[in-house]
């Protein structure tokens, strides 16, 4: 695609000073709002605080609604790939910590429903604006059709 791809992890962690610092949290929403106000973009990221801004501003939302085990496996796989020299997408290193693994493990039971509710609201206005893919195979089929 010719659209700019924005990896929120890279911006959030590697901006100087990083947005995860408490004094920069309010600037994070403004930063993402400015991105969304741009004409064309693809945004990759799962930051709940800015999810409504991104969903409202998107023409189409593709939500990867994978099972927990797939997500956990992929965390370990990305970590392994980086250990043998592959560079992470967006240059963001995979951090293997209990906090991060816990977040991934709890995502489907804590965060997923919030995202699905936001997507339901957008889908009611325009059903073609929300695409939910529930497996890596579904992702392959979707992009191979294009």
Computed from CA positions of residues 2, 5, 109, 49, in that sequence, does the dihedral angle turn out positive or negative? Answer: negative
In contact, 87 and 47? CB cutoff 8 Å:
no
Residue with the larger pLDDT of the pair 79 and 61: 61
Which residue has tokens 């496996």? Answer: 73
pLDDT (tens digit per residue) in 73-130: 998 998 898 888 877 766 666 678 899 899 999 999 989 999 999 999 888 888 899 9
Tokens read off for 71: 């997500």
Instruction: Look at strands 42-44 and 61-64 and give their pairing.
Output: unpaired
Mean pLDDT of all residues in the chain?
A: 88
């Amino acid at each position: 695609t010719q659209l700019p791809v924005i990896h929120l992890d890279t911006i959030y962690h590697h901006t100087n000073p990083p947005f995860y610092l408490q004094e920069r949290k309010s600037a994070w929403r403004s930063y993402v709002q400015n991105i969304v106000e741009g004409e064309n973009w693809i945004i990759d990221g799962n930051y709940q605080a800015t999810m409504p801004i991104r969903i409202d501003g998107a023409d189409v939302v593709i939500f990867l609604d994978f099972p927990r085990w797939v997500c956990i496996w992929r965390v370990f796989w990305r970590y392994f790939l980086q250990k043998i020299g592959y560079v992470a997408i967006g240059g963001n290193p995979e951090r293997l910590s209990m906090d991060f693994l816990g977040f991934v493990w709890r995502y489907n039971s804590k965060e997923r429903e919030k995202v699905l509710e936001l997507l339901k609201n957008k889908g009611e206005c325009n059903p073609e604006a929300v695409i939910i893919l529930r497996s890596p195979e579904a992702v392959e089929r979707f992009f191979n059709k294009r």
